[in-house]
Each structure stands twice: as structure tokens, then as C-alpha cells.
Structure 1
Amino acid sequence: MSTTPRSVLAVGSHPDDVELGCGGTLARHAAAGDRVTMLVVTHGQAGPGDVDRRTAEQREAAATLGADLVWGGLVDGEVSNHELELVHLIESTIRSVGADVVYTHGVDDTHQDHRAVALATLGAARHCRQVLTYESPSSYGFRPHLFVDITSALDKKTAALGCHRSQVADSRMVDLEVVRNQAGYRGFQSRVGCAEGFVPHRLVLEV
């Protein structure tokens, strides 16, 4: 992690997406003094739990990670119908927070909202020097070659995911045991205790 505070933006389609993909990394950013912002594009209307509950859960999860929360206001399942609006939304958020580092979904994903957000973010972040994609339970062919050691932040990641009680109870996509196992596997790959993996779209190394 850099010793100079940065502004970090993580973009996700639905409540819990960001925590699943890079929650441990965001916790590490926050612990290092970076400003962390989560842009959640929809309120998760199509998932388990009603909108009010999912909204409250997401607020609690963001607070657990030490992150600011921005809502996109689009409709779950219909994100791909708003391509230009989505690019402008993400671009506006990047500008408003002065993002130095951007995290988003990978483009190879079976969920149409995830794919749309991934592609829109790559366009919106075209002037950013660090843009990395994270994996989701619905990713396919995801082969990370950049890793962040989240050994010290795994409990914070699982605590944030635990805030999404409607999803933990009713969705197989949010299984805390699987999350811990995956972190251990990515840690094994990267020769640390626990890790999150990323595929860089653009990464300028400071030397």
C-alpha cells in the first residue's frame, strides 16, 4: 500500500458485490488512511430481501469497512439498458471523489449487470492510472495475477458481508465459509495467508 493517502473508488452492481470482490482490500485501504468510496449502482431489487432492508444492510456494511457510500439509482436487472447513463454516473463519481484507484467487476461474468458495470467503468475510468477488476461468484475464467494480502483484514471483510443478512440467509452467493476458503486459496496462490485476486486493466507502478 502507498504511504500517501489516496482516493479509492469501488464500483459494484448490487449490494454486497463490492464486499465480495474487494472488501478486504478496501479495509486495508481504509486502515492505511485512504479515502474509500463505494458506488453501488442498484438497490438489489431482484435479489432476496426488500429494497429498504438491502439499502440498510449496505449502509451498515460500508460503515463497517470505513467507506463512504454512493447509490447509482438504477434498477437491478436492467443496468445494461442504460449504457450511456451508467458511464456518465461512474465518470461523475470518479471526478467527485478524485479517485486515484478504481476497482470494478471483471468483464467475464454471467450476470448481465456485472458485465455492463465492468465495461462502463473501464470507459469512465479511461483517464485513471490504476483500474483493477475483481472476481464475483458469477465470474468465469477469472485468472488473477495481482493479489492483495488481506490476512489482517479477512475478519473485517466477513463482518461487512455479514451485514447483508438477507443475502447470507437466502442466497448461496454469499456464503461466509466459501468466502474464507476462497481467500485462503488466493493466499496460497500468492504465498500469503489470505488474499484477494485482481486482473489489472491499467496499473502504473510507482518506482
Structure 2
Amino acid sequence: MASIIGIAISSSRWGRRWLVRDFTHHQSILGAWIAGNLVLIAAAGRHLLSRGESDAAAVVAIMAAISLLILCLSMLALQRRPQSNTRPRRFLAVGAHPDDVELACGATIAKLIDSGHEVRIVVMSQGESGGHAPRRIQEARHGARYLGAQSHTVHSFCDTRLSENSNLMVATIEEEIAAFEPDVVLTHSATDIHQDHEAVHRAVMRAGRRLPSILCFESPSVSKDFSPDFFVDVENYTDVKVEAIKLHADQRNKPYMTRTRIESMANFRGNQVKQQRAEGFEVMRLVSTTVGDF
């Protein structure tokens, strides 16, 4: 049934996003059910006013049946969410630019959130050198909200010159860590050839020097030296990642923003660990009981 609905709304990107992602969250389920009932009540009221009380029982019965159908469909959508057998953990994802986190580990983040974990996304610059800063900030918020992140912050360190503010970045990330108390931090790799990405990696390693678990994600600008040794199965979350990246329309002309590129990388990493699709991470250090079941 889901595939039929997906085909029916394939011409609407917002329709796809709503069905694939937003509708699977509790608040959307409740909102859809309440909204549907309000519409039904209004329609029933107009009908009763025009037809008289003789049709009241039939209208109420029809309204109740439709309301139950809406609720059943909503709960069916909710069952798509995987359940985790571990206690909820906190994951802090730190990127240099507004689209970095989605590009590198958007599927993993979506899976973590749907498994009941809490994710906070922190972006160190507004991406003003590579695009329109106000637009990119808004798109970053939309992307984080679409993935389901509980919170999202965009800082204003100078794009392309993050290394010049190393100490300030370390202090800022330390504040984020102190406030959020993450179990795991996700950030850029030291093998990344983009100067901002490398600067953020170094700042996170310094700020998180007392944290037990830090993983480095794979951005489009990593060098051949990037060597993942931890993988997350994201077979059911690649489409979510693609749709989240589409929200960064300011960067849509970049070659690494395409569905083909994103799916190819997921297939490549999946093949390395004998899965359909995966995202790879370098382990700086990792306590296995901290990450739990992805």
C-alpha cells in the first residue's frame, strides 16, 4: 500500500517528504488525527444544519468510521519506526557548514532519532562564502527538523577561515558539550582536505578530549586516506538522506548533492560490510556500550 501511495504522490517533493519522514513522528500522527477530526466535525455540522436532525445518527456514524480509519492509517505509519532495545543516548553532530552533517551522516542521524535517541546538530559557520548565508541558515534548520533532530544551532564563525578562530571554536564546542552532555560526538575527519572541515575536526578533538566516544564521518571532500572502521546499516534511510539534502537548495548545483552520488556512496560503503547500503565512520575512540544498537 505504501508503494502505491508513494507512486501517486511522486510528482510532489513535499508530499514525499511528508509521507516518508514527517508523518512517522508522534507529533505528526497526533496532529493529522486531530486535524482530520476537526474537518469531519465541521463537515458534519454543515450537513446537519442543511438536512435536519433526522440524519444525525448516520452522519455521526460515518464521521466516527472515518476518524477511526485515519487513526489506523496513522498508527500503521508509526509502526515503520524501528525500536531500540537500549536506553536512549545523546549524539552531538558537529559540522563546518550548513549542509555538512546531512551530506555525511544524514541517514545515520535519521535512524538514531527513529530508534529513540536524541541528536543535536551544531554548525560552526553560516556558509556565506559558498552561498547566501540567510538562506543557508534557514535551509539548515529545515534539514535538521526534517531529520528529526531535537535541537540545531548555526554559529557565525567565518566561512573558509575557521582555523583562524581555533581557540574560540574549541570554547564554543566545549559549551555545547557541557550543555548537552553527549554520549557520542560525530564530526569531520582529519583526512578531510577542506580547511574548514579539518579545523572543526581539530577543535572537536580538543573540546571533546574527555569524551569516551568520537566518530568521524565521511564528507564529499575527504581524501583517499579516509578509512572507515565503523559502519551503520542505512538501507531504509538513504531516501530520507536524499530528501534532507534537497532542502539545501542553495547548494543544489554542487555535483555531490545529487541522488546518484549519494546512493552510489551508500552502496559502496554497504558493499564493504556486505549490506545493501551503509555510512562509514572512522573511530577516534569508541565505548561499545555507549553507542548501543543503531
TM-score by length of 2: 0.68
Deviation readout 1:145-196 (Å, 9 max, x if unpaired): 110001111111111101001212x222322210111001101111111100
Which amino acid in structure 2 is aligned with residue 43 of structure 1?
Q
Partner residue, 2:50: none
In 2: Cα distance, 1:97 partner to 1:55 partner: 21
Q: 1:2 to 1:131 in 2, by over 3 A?
A: farther
Counterpart selection for 1:182 from 247, 265, 274: 265
Q: Mapping of 1:21-36 within 5 angstroms?
A: 21-36=104-119
Partner residue, 1:63: 145
Q: Mapping of 1:36-185 within 5 angstroms?
A: 36-48=119-131, 50-67=132-149, 68-140=151-223, 141-168=225-252, 170-185=253-268
- The structure with the larger Rg is 2
Which amino acid in structure 1 is aligned with residue 218 of structure 2?
E
In 1: Cα distance, 2:123 partner to 2:208 partner: 16
In 2: Cα distance, 1:92 partner to 1:152 partner: 34
Identity value in percent: 38
Q: Quote the offset at 1:104 in angstroms.
A: 0.3
Contact residue 194 and residue 221 of structure 2 kept, 8 A: yes
Contact residue 98 and residue 154 of structure 2 kept, 8 A: no
Contact residue 83 and residue 116 of structure 1 kept, 8 A: yes
Q: 1:158 to 1:152 in 2, by over 3 A?
A: same
TM-score by length of 1: 0.95
In 1: Cα distance, 2:227 partner to 2:269 partner: 10
In structure 1, runs of 5+ residues without a counterpart are none
Contact residue 106 and residue 114 of structure 1 kept, 8 A: yes
Question: What is the DSSP-based 3-state SS (H/G/I as helix, E as strand, rest coil) of the residue aligned with 1:38?
Answer: strand
Deviation readout 1:103-156 (Å, 9 max, x if unpaired): 000011111100000011011111111100011111001111110001111111
Contact residue 256 and residue 262 of structure 2 kept, 8 A: no
Contact residue 46 and residue 76 of structure 1 kept, 8 A: yes
When the two chains are superposed, the root-mean-square deviation of aligned CA atoms in Å is 1.3
Which structure shows the higher helix fraction?
Answer: 2
Question: What is the DSSP-based 3-state SS (H/G/I as helix, E as strand, rest coil) of the residue aligned with 2:279?
Answer: strand
Contact residue 161 and residue 176 of structure 1 kept, 8 A: no
In structure 2, runs of 5+ residues without a counterpart are 1-83
In 2: Cα distance, 1:74 partner to 1:113 partner: 10
Q: 1:182 to 1:53 in 2, by over 3 A?
A: same
Question: Greater relative contact order: 1 or 2 (C-alpha under 8 angstroms, separation 6 or more)?
Answer: 1
Q: Quote the offset at 1:2 in angstroms.
A: 6.2
